[in-house]
Structure 1
Amino acid sequence: MRAGFPFLLTFQTGLVALLGLTVAGTTAASDIDKEKRWAEQLQDQLVVGEPVRLTAEQQDFFALYTPAVGKLQRGGVILLHGLGAHPDWPDVISPLRKNLPDTGWSTLSIQLPIRPNEADFADYPPLFPEANVRISAAIRYLQKQGLHNIALVGHSLGAAMGAYFLAQKAPDSEAVRAFVGIGMGHAPGTVAHTPDALAKMTLPVLDLYGTQDLRGVLGSSKARAASQVDNTGYRQLAITGADHFFRGLETTLVKRVSSWLNHALSDVKNNADTS
């Protein structure tokens, strides 16, 4: 199943009224056992990057850190995956994680809170505060690596969580210099409604999606742009022929994200120690 499939169905059918609800008996906490299984599988097959354990509110979580290649150190990118996925998910996240370092950007792809396999998107809004503390921990990790030119890059649900983190001015959010939201949709009346979150941002924003994206992503593009009308650092870019997962256009995805980051943060010098 593709990451975020229940979320995508919600986008496509318009059943946004479900998004603010939780299934009876569920709790606002990640499925830690599932996270551990993901982490074990990823460590066994890892070729690029290194596994790290971060801590947020006394709970460890898994991440993959891939340092920039060569002497060029532009900064650090925190990658936020889609619904029900992991830090090396093959769609969108893995191509960015492995290839952005070749352009001078170190990547830290973190495990966001997840629910059991049978859960749908209605179970995810209560996890947004937990995502906030994990993103904060990721920022502090990059800073400890000497990386202070930091960007958030999220896909689908991960983009919604990243936007929420910035809109809420969560701890350490002031350290984020730019935001890339890939395949952002809409969910009115919930914490996942990205136009509302975008309206509270003033930092550089890249709103990236495909011309063959989901109806909810395409249909909310004007609302997203309108929410950023006063932000001169906002850019909306539709990639011709791309679907929600950029299948077959992974190289284009990496080029667009890296070139925008290079331009948007060109006047911000990363002070990593490269000596």
Structure 2
Amino acid sequence: MSLVHRSALSALCLSLILPWTFSAQAADPAEQAKPTEPQPEQRQPLPERSLEEAAALERQLPAQEQQQLQAGASSFLALWKPANTSEPKGVVIIIPGAGESADWPQVIAPLRNKLPDTDWGSLSLTLPDMQSEAAQPRIVETTPAPVDTANTAKDASTEAKPIEQVAGGEAEVADHPVAETTEEQVKADAERIFARVDAALAFAEQQNARSIVLLGHGTGAYWAARYLSEKQPSQVQKLVMVAAQSPANGKPQLVELTQTLKLATADFFYVDQASARKAALERLQASKRLKHSNFSQIALKALPGNNSAQQEQLFRRVRGWLNPQNSES
């Protein structure tokens, strides 16, 4: 056999052997059995609580009370009840506090349902969840359980124990991260709330309201005061604050905001709470340092065990301030 033929034969043999060798290595069971690196599980952000509560109200309340108002690119639920008179005095826009819905049983629902009988229409808003107070999306690392093929039966009886420990320990910690608040988040919260108040004012004007009042409860009073301080809308004539308080991340504080307001303001607070009394006194003293005298305070007394009487007391005082000629003691 010639040298050329031998070389050709050797090359042919190599071309047949090498692909088989590589294929055998790729199919090696030892290689396939190597555990892969666990991939972090990206947990999606939960839907906003306010959206879930609004959806529940849509199912429970009459359709004629529901208004979908547009704030920027999104819509939100507001509850509307016109005044029960041919000559309404105006519209009271109700801003709930943190964690409260547009039909919250304390303060919000009693006022929105009763004000129409005093010649005032009521428009109760749904506020968005506060981004500055929400937990951030988090990544939960998962660790696969070890596999022992030699003791499969033994592993089957003990495999659940490490999983239970993770569920009760590490997973619990992962579900409660500490959120970092930034100025950008607080600013974003204010912009979203202000957009909803803008939409509420536009709706009230469409009803030809002669007068518009902002009424805020809890932190809702803070956002109402901040809106009026920063935007100074000419459509709003009065502000009502009920059990007002500043959010944890609210800057400036409520006492600083009320000093900038020139419209008539009523500050309802409960004298039974030491912290509420102190904060109310600071607001009153700050108002006395100003030249205008449009700030007034009304002390309320808590009635433990008699919620209906407490809500009626608040309604009568609010009605008396809005309609002074019909005030009752």
Tell whether the structures are fold-level matches, with TM greater than 0.5.
yes
> Number of residue pairs matched?
230
The structure, 1 or 2, with the larger RCO (C-alpha pairs under 8 Å, 6+ apart) is 1
TM score, norm. by length of structure 2: 0.63
Distance 1:83 1:169, change over 3 A: same
Give, in angstroms, the shift of residue 36 of structure 1.
Answer: 2.7
**Please, which of 49, 54, 57 is the counterpart of residue 72 of structure 2?**
57
Are positions 1:257 and 2:318 aligned together?
yes
Give the structure with the higher percent helix.
2
Give, in angstroms, the shift of residue 227 of structure 1.
Answer: 2.3
Residue 156 of structure 1: aligned partner: 218
Question: Equivalent residue of 2:224, what SS?
Answer: helix
Give, in angstroms, the shift of residue 68 of structure 1.
Answer: 0.6
Residue 205 of structure 1: aligned partner: 265
Question: Equivalent residue of 2:251, what SS?
Answer: coil
Residue 130 of structure 1: aligned partner: 192
Question: Equivalent residue of 1:216, what SS?
Answer: helix
Gaps of 5+ in 1: 1-30, 265-275
Gaps of 5+ in 2: 1-45, 136-177
Give, in angstroms, the shift of residue 48 of structure 1.
Answer: 9.2
Q: Which amino acid aligns with 1:203?
A: L
Give, in angstroms, the shift of residue 122 of structure 1.
Answer: 8.3
Are positions 1:227 and 2:286 aligned together?
yes
Kept after mapping to 2: 8 A contact 1:78/1:107: yes
Question: Per-residue displacement from partner, 1:12-58 (whole Å, max 9, x unpaired)?
Answer: xxxxxxxxxxxxxxxxxxx8643332122112211596100111112
Question: Equivalent residue of 1:148, what SS?
Answer: coil
Distance 1:252 1:48, change over 3 A: farther
**Please, which of 214, 217, 224 is the counterpart of residue 276 of structure 2?**
217
Q: Which amino acid aligns with 2:234?
A: E
Query: In terms of mean alpha carbon deviation, does 76-85 or 65-74 score higher?
Result: 65-74
Distance 1:186 1:131, change over 3 A: closer
Are positions 1:176 and 2:191 aligned together?
no
Q: 1:185 & 1:261 partners in 2: Cα distance?
A: 22
Q: Which amino acid aligns with 2:52?
A: R
Q: 1:53 & 1:188 partners in 2: Cα distance?
A: 29
**Please, which of 74, 91, 100 is the counterpart of residue 76 of structure 1?**
91
Give, in angstroms, the shift of residue 190 of structure 1.
Answer: 3.4
- Percent identity of paired positions between Structure 1 and Structure 2: 27
TM score, norm. by length of structure 1: 0.75
Give, in angstroms, the shift of residue 216 of structure 1.
Answer: 3.0
Q: 1:51 & 1:187 partners in 2: Cα distance?
A: 28
Q: 2:111 & 2:63 partners in 1: Cα distance?
A: 12
Q: Which amino acid aligns with 2:96?
A: H
Distance 1:54 1:192, change over 3 A: farther
Are positions 1:240 and 2:240 aligned together?
no
Structure with higher Rg: it is 2
Q: 1:166 & 1:251 partners in 2: Cα distance?
A: 28
Q: 1:176 & 1:237 partners in 2: Cα distance?
A: 21
